[in-house]
Amino acid sequence: MIKNSVTWKIGGEAGYGIMSSGLIFGKTCLRSGYFVVDTNEYPSLIRGGHNTYIVRAAREEIFSIVKPVDILIALNKNAIDYHKDELSQDSHVIFDTDRISKEDTKVLKKSKLYPIPLISLAKESGGQEIMANTVALGATIALLDGDFEILSDVIADVFGTSKKEIIDINIAVARAGFNYVKKNFPGKISYSLEKQKNKRDLMFLSGSEAVALGAVRAGCKFFAAYPMTPINPIINYFAKNGPDLGIVYKQPEDEISAINMAIGASFAGVRSMTATSGGGFSLMAEGYGMAGMTETPLVIIEGQRPGPATGLPTWGGQADLKFVLHAAQDEFPRIILAPGDPEECFWLTAEAFDLAEKYQTTALVLIDKHLGESRYWSPIIDSSGYKIDRGFLMSEADQQKDYKRYELTKSGISPRPIPGREGFTFRVNSDEHSEYGFSEESAENRVAQMEKRMRKLELCQKEIPDPKVYGDKNAKIIFVGWGSSKGSILEAQKILAEQKIATKFLHLTYMNPLPQKFLEKFFGAIKKEKVLMVEQNYTAQCAALIREKIGYEIKDKFLKYDGRPFYPEEIVEKVKAL
């Protein structure tokens, strides 16, 4: 019987083309009609470290990778030694006999082995040693009864900017692997990538790419960001496509400059964004507060990775929630959103631009390495009904009258002009200021301006949507999670449902302001149900936030801080131990 899902992993030294192989294989699975998720693991090195790429493809909707590996591509001995214990009961290992001896594979007791001279095949078909990975891709497609034409189309697309000869050689090399398996290992296995029709029209993209697309859709015109894992894919997207899209990406000298440039562009009247990880955001903290004080709209993408300091630079986590809730001195309205999948990355990034302009403050989108750099199947996003909301941005005609930049209004929001137009001048001021923006230190003025700024957050709270709850509404087991761990929890729910264990899952995406009324009702209704907080940090930051704001204490917590994403199996085990 053909199994519903297959997990494929390729492992080898950095520089072996692991990342491009993963992308090609994932796209091939998607175009073959499957639901696909992928993830990669790499150390903070350019060459020599061990890289892996995992792709999971299934006939039904899946939300995360799972632990057992069904098909392993071992490009070197390390790939066998490191991953031998991850193999499933029914596993198949393709290994390169040019680098790995029979002796090396003795540890693989339960797997079916496919010794293939990957490097020799690459060379014999006109390629080079570094194309062993592409030979392995062809071999995989043959093993899984897949359609070679789909693979060759994907290779041509992924190497699209290369010379035609390069593309042709890669296809020939893949073909050699395909033919080798068809000839030497005929017969079907219990996993398949046979071409099928998927009823849904899908894309395959990472959280970072979805963030970039959401920003484009929302009319972002200026983006300043200093390179840092894991937000580099966003930079790459804008650096490459900016000229075509009419968006300026500026590489600044440091993160302090990045946030100040983004603020300057927003002040001048365009939708503007910066992005960084926790370390860079530490440098941005003062600018974060300045955007709040000057009431300049600003979108910030914060891609979390484990710290403190340099920490685990190429791994993931959710330990910056409390940091972004409090970063910068004193208080100002900090809007914080946390998407859980690429579709949410797209929409919440677009929403961040609207909220930032509407409330004239910061809107920060928290992602992490795992969400940012892993790819997921996603429906084609229909944004035809989306309308940009620029809030109280003044028209040219409005700017002719007398004007107070920080006029005390009931909502706390003052009309915002654009500098350079005819009519009045105005100033914004990081000093406490009068309604006109002049420096002003009287106690009365301070209180009035402080309350004006904070009123905006109260208004925002009334307008944010309720969070989503997934699963069985009568379930006795309740998961609480936020942001990027969504996929793992949804997948755990699926496994539990198959075992007749009903669960529901409250997924938070608006972290500040919180959907207060909804949460009070939700937690107020809990009686004997078991509630499990699932988050990737040491101190259960979201659980603490819920306790602070809602007054409900979540006692059971599944916390992880090893830099690796939650595996659904781990969550299942935790539920069973409750």
Partner 1 sequence: MLDPNKFGTNEEITWCKGCGNFGIFVALKNAFDKLGWKPNDVLLTYGIGCHGHMVNYLNAFGFEGLHGRALPVATGAKLANHKLNVISIVGDGDQLGEGGNHFLHACRRNTDITCIIHDNQVYGLTVGQSSPTSAIGFKSRTAPTGTVEEPINPVSLALAAGAPFVAQGFSGDIKQLTDLFVEAIKHKGFSLVNVFQPCVTFNYLNTYKWFYERVYRLEDTSYTPNDKVVAFQKALELETKLPTGIIYKTEKPLFEESLPQIKEKPLIDQPIDNIDIERLFSEFR
Q: Does 30 bind partner 1 (CB under 8 A)?
A: yes
Out of 401, 427, 517, 521, point to the residue binding partner 1 (CB under 8 A). Answer: 427
**Rounded to an integer, what distance in angstroms lies between the CA atom of residue 552 and that of residue 556?**
12
Q: Does 234 bind partner 1 (CB under 8 A)?
A: no
* Residue 121 or 247 having the CB closest to partner 1: 247
Q: Does 156 bind partner 1 (CB under 8 A)?
A: no
CA distances from 327 to 79, 275, 352, 354, 467 (A): 41, 15, 18, 22, 25
Half-sphere exposure of 471 (CA within 13 A, CB side): 26
Q: Specify the stretch interacting with partner 1 by CB under 8 A; choose among 37-45, 252-260, 312-320, 554-562.
A: 252-260
Q: Residue 271 pairs with which residues in a beta bridge?
A: 220
- Least distance between partner 1 and beta carbon 220 (Å): 8
Q: Does 187 bind partner 1 (CB under 8 A)?
A: no
> CB–CB of 258/238 below 8 Å?
no
Report the C-alpha dihedral over residues 65, 468, 207, 381, rounded to 10 degrees. Answer: 110
Q: Does 388 bind partner 1 (CB under 8 A)?
A: yes
Q: Does 165 bind partner 1 (CB under 8 A)?
A: no
Task: Find the helix or strand (DSSP H, E) in which 54 lies.
Answer: strand 50-58
Out of 286, 529, 569, 570, point to the residue binding partner 1 (CB under 8 A). Answer: 286
Q: Does 245 bind partner 1 (CB under 8 A)?
A: yes
**Rounded to an integer, what distance in angstroms lies between the CA atom of residue 72 and that of residue 88?**
10
**Rounded to an integer, what distance in angstroms lies between the CA atom of residue 40 and that of residue 206?**
11
Q: Does 242 bind partner 1 (CB under 8 A)?
A: yes
> CB–CB of 39/60 below 8 Å?
no
Q: Does 423 bind partner 1 (CB under 8 A)?
A: yes
> CB–CB of 9/67 below 8 Å?
no
- Least distance between partner 1 and beta carbon 464 (Å): 23
Q: Does 241 bind partner 1 (CB under 8 A)?
A: yes
Name which of 231, 341, 416 is nearest 223 in CA terms. 231
Q: Specify the stretch interacting with partner 1 by CB under 8 A; choose among 6-14, 24-32, 51-59, 313-321.
A: 24-32
Q: Does 271 bind partner 1 (CB under 8 A)?
A: yes
Q: Does 252 bind partner 1 (CB under 8 A)?
A: yes
Q: Specify the stretch interacting with partner 1 by CB under 8 A; choose among 184-192, 198-206, 302-310, 538-546.
A: 198-206
* Residue 372 or 437 having the CB closest to partner 1: 437
Q: How many residues bind partner 1 (CB under 8 A)?
A: 68
Q: Does 311 bind partner 1 (CB under 8 A)?
A: no
* Residue 57 or 265 having the CB closest to partner 1: 265
Name which of 566, 557, 537 is nearest 319 in CA terms. 537
Out of 279, 280, 287, 471, point to the residue binding partner 1 (CB under 8 A). Answer: 287
Q: Does 294 bind partner 1 (CB under 8 A)?
A: yes
Q: Does 393 bind partner 1 (CB under 8 A)?
A: no
Q: Residue 220 pairs with which residues in a beta bridge?
A: 271
Q: Does 263 bind partner 1 (CB under 8 A)?
A: yes
> CB–CB of 191/59 below 8 Å?
no
**Rounded to an integer, what distance in angstroms lies between the CA atom of residue 141 and that of residue 143?**
5
Q: Does 304 bind partner 1 (CB under 8 A)?
A: no
Q: Does 243 bind partner 1 (CB under 8 A)?
A: yes
Q: Does 308 bind partner 1 (CB under 8 A)?
A: no
Would strands 375-379 and 5-13 be described as parallel, antiparallel, or unpaired? unpaired
Half-sphere exposure of 237 (CA within 13 A, CB side): 22
**Rounded to an integer, what distance in angstroms lies between the CA atom of residue 434 and that of residue 441?**
9
**Rounded to an integer, what distance in angstroms lies between the CA atom of residue 462 and that of residue 467?**
13
* Residue 190 or 400 having the CB closest to partner 1: 400
> CB–CB of 276/258 below 8 Å?
yes
Q: Does 391 bind partner 1 (CB under 8 A)?
A: no
Q: Extract the tokens encoding 31.
A: 């175009």
**Which residues in 460-485 are b (16+ Cβ under 10 Å) and which e?**
bbeebeebebbbbeebebbbbbbbbb
Angle at 224 between CA 335 and CA 291, to 5 degrees: 35
* Residue 243 or 308 having the CB closest to partner 1: 243
Out of 62, 69, 224, 519, point to the residue binding partner 1 (CB under 8 A). Answer: 224
- Least distance between partner 1 and beta carbon 554 (Å): 37
* Residue 289 or 340 having the CB closest to partner 1: 289
Binding site for partner 1 (CB under 8 A): 27, 30-31, 202-205, 209, 213, 216-219, 221-222, 224, 241-243, 245-248, 250, 252-254, 256-258, 260-272, 286-287, 290, 294, 380-381, 383, 388, 418-431, 437-439
